[in-house]
Every structure is written in structure tokens, then in C-alpha cells.
Structure 1
Amino acid sequence: MDPSLHSCQIDPARLRSLLGGASGRFTIEALRECGSTSTLLLERARQDATSGSVLIADRQTAGRGRRGRSWWSSAESGLTFSVLWRFTGGVARLAGLSLAVGVAVARALENCGVPGIGLKWPNDILLDGGKLGGILVELDAQPDGMVAVMGIGLNLLLPAAGAEEFLHRPASLSQASSPPPDRHQLLARILLELAVVLDRFAVAGFSVLREEWQAHHVWQERAVRLLNGGLLDREGICLGADSDGALLLRTAAGIERCLSGDLSLRAA
């Protein structure tokens, strides 16, 4: 047996058993270590990897977050994985996908008994205001439609001080429950909720999930600044997300829609 699989803390067979009747929708592989689960899945997508392919790594050495930031992980401190999903149609149909994934993760965490879960546009998962995890969606156009690879990372334990530069106060599941939820139970619940959410999203887009996202939106009606490359882009009152996932901001000029992936949301 490949030693990288033998020492992995996630057991695909156990995970499949927890998925029950939905196990057939997922192809699961677990690795002890890799560069980036999303990079591997994007490569496999071009080799006809099936929708529902899941790649889990105990440790990622080249994991990445939004705007190219690094996302380091270890088996002891986090849960990191990527999911490949295929959609018909063009890229416009996938507007708001990262927010939809956030809804699925929030549902899963709450179903695992974790209180205080919030969402921040466009891809942060919060716990009592601290950053619990993140979502990075990467897209690839193919002749028969679009491939989305959704990378998800959650902190089980607080990262070691000095391990990286934190732009936001970190949070971990260990702060909400001791011990934190079992990795297999948590991952199974996330995958089950993802299947439900992505099925709805494929038919009707983000609009059918918007109300639930808004209910978890922690910066609703708060004064915020939008930064672009570290410089102030605009400021106003955050109104959440539009039906296509665009950020809505009430400014002196009226209600503005913000779609740029380079914008960074900060409290005023």
C-alpha cells in the first residue's frame, strides 16, 4: 500500500459509510501530504475526473487562499479538502458559487452542533467573528460545460502563533467544542450538504440560497471599506449579496454592486 495513504487520518471507507445513500455521488481519495488538493483536481478535471471527486490531504504544502495567499494545513490542526463538480452552461451561470458553498458549510457546522457560525463575502467562514476557514472556487471551461473545484479549509485547532501572517483574527472549532467535531463526521456532513446545495444551485443559481446566506452574513448593515490592492476603493454600508452573489454597498452615490475578486472587505 502507498505509505501516504496508510498514514492518512481520513479513512475513505469510513467516510463513504457515513455518506449512506449519497456515497455513490462521490469518489473519495485521501492523501497524507500534497502540494494543493485543488491543483491536483484541476489537473484531473482535464483528464475526465468525474463530478463529485473529493481529494483530502492531511497536510498541504502549497495550499492557497484568495488572491494567491498561502494556506498551510496539518492533520492535527485542520481539515482541508477539495471537491470537483461539473455544471452545464457557461461561466455566467456560476455567479455566486463561493457564497453557495458557504451556505453548505454553515449548515454542516450547525448540524454538527457548532454555534456562532457566520459568513463574510465572498468566501470566509467565521466563528464568533474570528476566521474559522475559507473557500476558494476555481473554474475551468470545458467543451461540455464548466468544472468548478471548491477548496475548503477549516481550523480544528488555533494555528500556532507566528506560523503565518494573519489578516484576520483566527478561530478554531476547538473553541466551540472540546474535543472538536470528529473529522469524518464533519466532512461527511459537509459533503452531504454540498450535494443538496449544488443541486439547487445548478437549477436556479444563487438566488434560491440568498436568503439563507444573508441570515449568516455577519456584516449586514455595518459600515465597511473596500480595499483594492491595499488602497481604499470605496466605503459605505454593507447590504449583503445580490441575487447573483455581487456585494451590495450603500454609498453616497447610491447602492453599488461590487463583483471584483480583488476587493477586500474591512470594517470601517
Structure 2
Amino acid sequence: MKEHATRLALIRALSDGSFHSGETLGQAIGISRAAISKHIKTLQSWGLDIFRVQGKGYCLAKELELLDCDKILAQVKCSHLSLLPVIDSTNQYLLDRVGQLPSGSVCLAEYQQAGRGRRGRQWLSPFGSNLYLSMYWRLDAGMAAAMGLSLVVGIAIADTLTSLGAQSIKLKWPNDLYFQDKKLAGILTEMTGQAGDAAHIVIGMGLNIAMPDREGEHIDQLWTNLADACEILPSRNLLAANLIAQLQQTLLEYEQVGLAGFVERWNEYDNFLNRPVKLLIGERVVEGIARGIDKQGGLLLETEQGVTPYIGGEISLRGC
């Protein structure tokens, strides 16, 4: 993190959304104006929208609210909270520390250099625009009991966003959140453990809050921001605290009732319920009407042959 200290100090100085001259920034941070210019270019590559006006200096396109451990922990109890502004992957950070951290530990980042989504895809993670959060959870019932966990996590996130004023939040099987048929957030659940032992689960989420359009040009599907779903956008620190609290509560409930206790709630959020969809299973395409999920977390698809459940793996759901 030391190599990023100067850049993070520069971000904090610019976070108020006001103009700051290169000379003033250099004096405050203790580096030259030329070094400021080089660091600005790096910050722009991180996805920060910084521009320069002759005679005024540098300015962020808009004020930036940085994540703050103290503000988050003032609103929620958490067994361990790590806030690492720049990281390869919040999920990987926790996976590397399984057995060292208590269950319920959380890792937050402002920028992920190697964020990943389902099936190893890259997850675009510009600095400070969105929310990148992972939680470690020890499931004593074992790996078999974790079936469908990403569905339950989706409910927890949807409940949180709805409670904070977001409208019409929906879920897409098996691990995405939607708003107006566009992707709002993704969930990545990764697990380690041995048969007969506890399951060690890392639950990661990436939530678009105010993704810049120029960053979003690299996304290969329709996407949206939480700002589009809320009349008043909640603070990122408030959002993080509420997500942590809701995840804790939902995972404890899941340990008691399993996925069967969440099926009805998931179906209420289902973006494609009773709508025509197609499943991509390798080279095969199956079209039908989505009928929600079953108690095992399988997607129920109605075709001319009847209603058939489909479980995850290499299956991809698309709206028709």
C-alpha cells in the first residue's frame, strides 16, 4: 500500500470537487508539480474523471465520498473490517486469509486491479464509483448446505437497496441484480473446505453506484447505476454498513431455514418471472417461460415438455 500513499493523498485532496493548482497540491503532498501530473495520469487510468483547466489547476468532475472504516463501524457491528483502497480482489484477499479471520469478516476496496466475476470474467472496478465488498462466512453445516447461497445473498442485497429507497430492484438467476432490465450488481460466491468439515465461503459483490459512462463503454451488456434507481442516492458508507448488517442477518437465517425458506422471497424479486427467456447451455439453447426457482435453487423453465429445473454451472440466462 505504500506505493499508493501519494496517489491516495492526492485523491483525498481532490475529493472535495474543487480546483487545486499543481503547485498547491505538490506543496501539500511534498512532491513536484511534474510528479503531480504523472500521478494524475495514473488516477485517470483508475477510472477517476479528473480534468485540468489552465490557470485553475486540477478538479474531479464531481465531489467524491471516500469509504471510511470509522463511519461504517459507527453504524454496524463487524467481527473484522478491512478497508484497502487499492487491491487486486476483495474476494482473493479473504480467500487468502481463511482460517485467520473470524466468520463475518469484511473486505472493502475503492479500486480493484483484478476484480473478477462469474467464470473468471473481469469485473470492471473504477476507483470510488461503485462498491466492492466481500464477506467471509464459515458454514458449519458443510459445503452441501451452501447450495443456492448466491440466491440468498441476492435477496439480502435487494432488501438493503429497497430499504434505502431504491425502486423496482430485481434479481436475475443465479447471481445478478437488475433495474429496468439492466445489470446493477453482480455476486461471486467462492468456497473452500473438505467433505465432512465446515465450508469456508467468501461472498463478493460489485454494485454500480455512479459508474462513469466512459468506463461503462467496456461492459459487454446493458448496465445501470444505483443513482438511476434512487431519487436520493444514499451515502456509500451508509450503504456499506447496511449491506453488512443485512448480509449478517440473512446468513444467520439461512443457517436455520436453508434455501427453502427464501424461495418465495426470491420469486418476488425475479426479474424474468413468467417472461420468455432462453438458457444457453454450452452450444445448446433452450427457450421457455421462467417460472421462478425451486427449493434446490434450480431455475424452473416451462417448455412444451413441461416444467424442468436447471441448476447452475455453465448455464447462462437471457431475456428474449
Q: TM-score, normalised by structure 1?
A: 0.91
State the AA in 2 paired with 1:50. Answer: P
- Cα deviation, 1:226-253, whole Å, max 9, x if unaligned, reads 1134x33322111111112111111222
Shift in alpha-carbon separation, 1:157–1:224, aligned structure 2, 3 A: same
Shift of 1:53: 0.8
Corresponding residue SS for 1:134: strand
State the AA in 2 paired with 1:224. Answer: V
Residue 117 of structure 1 corresponds to 169
Are residue 11 (structure 1) and residue 64 (structure 2) matched? no
Q: Please say which structure displays the higher CA radius of gyration.
A: 2
- Cα deviation, 1:104-136, whole Å, max 9, x if unaligned, reads 001110111111100010011111221111101
State the AA in 2 paired with 1:161. Answer: R
Shift of 1:164: 5.3
State the AA in 2 paired with 1:261. Answer: G
CA distance in 2, matches of 1:30, 1:85: 18
Find 1:244's aligned residue among 285, 296, 300: 296
State the AA in 2 paired with 1:148. Answer: I
Shift of 1:18: 0.7
Mark the runs of 5 or more structure 1 residues left unpaired by the alignment: none
Corresponding residue SS for 2:255: helix
Matched-pair contact (CA < 8 Å) for 1:76–1:156: no
- Cα deviation, 1:183-223, whole Å, max 9, x if unaligned, reads 11111111111111101111221111111111010100111
Residue 39 of structure 1 corresponds to 92
Corresponding residue SS for 1:44: coil
Aligned pairs, number? 262
- Cα deviation, 1:137-161, whole Å, max 9, x if unaligned, reads 0011157400110111111113433
CA RMSD of aligned residues (A): 2.1
CA distance in 1, matches of 2:273, 2:231: 30
Shift of 1:13: 1.6
Mark the runs of 5 or more structure 2 residues left unpaired by the alignment: 13-64
Residue 153 of structure 2 corresponds to 101
Matched-pair contact (CA < 8 Å) for 1:159–1:170: no
Are residue 138 (structure 1) and residue 138 (structure 2) matched? no
| Seq. identity, % | 36
CA distance in 1, matches of 2:143, 2:318: 28
Shift of 1:76: 3.0
State the AA in 1 paired with 2:148. Answer: G
CA distance in 2, matches of 1:159, 1:261: 32
Residue 132 of structure 2 corresponds to 80
- Cα deviation, 1:31-56, whole Å, max 9, x if unaligned, reads 111110101111101x4321011000
**Which structure: greater strand fraction?**
1
State the AA in 2 paired with 1:92. Answer: A
State the AA in 1 paired with 2:254. Answer: F
CA distance in 1, matches of 2:313, 2:185: 18
Matched-pair contact (CA < 8 Å) for 1:227–1:234: yes
State the AA in 1 paired with 2:138. Answer: R
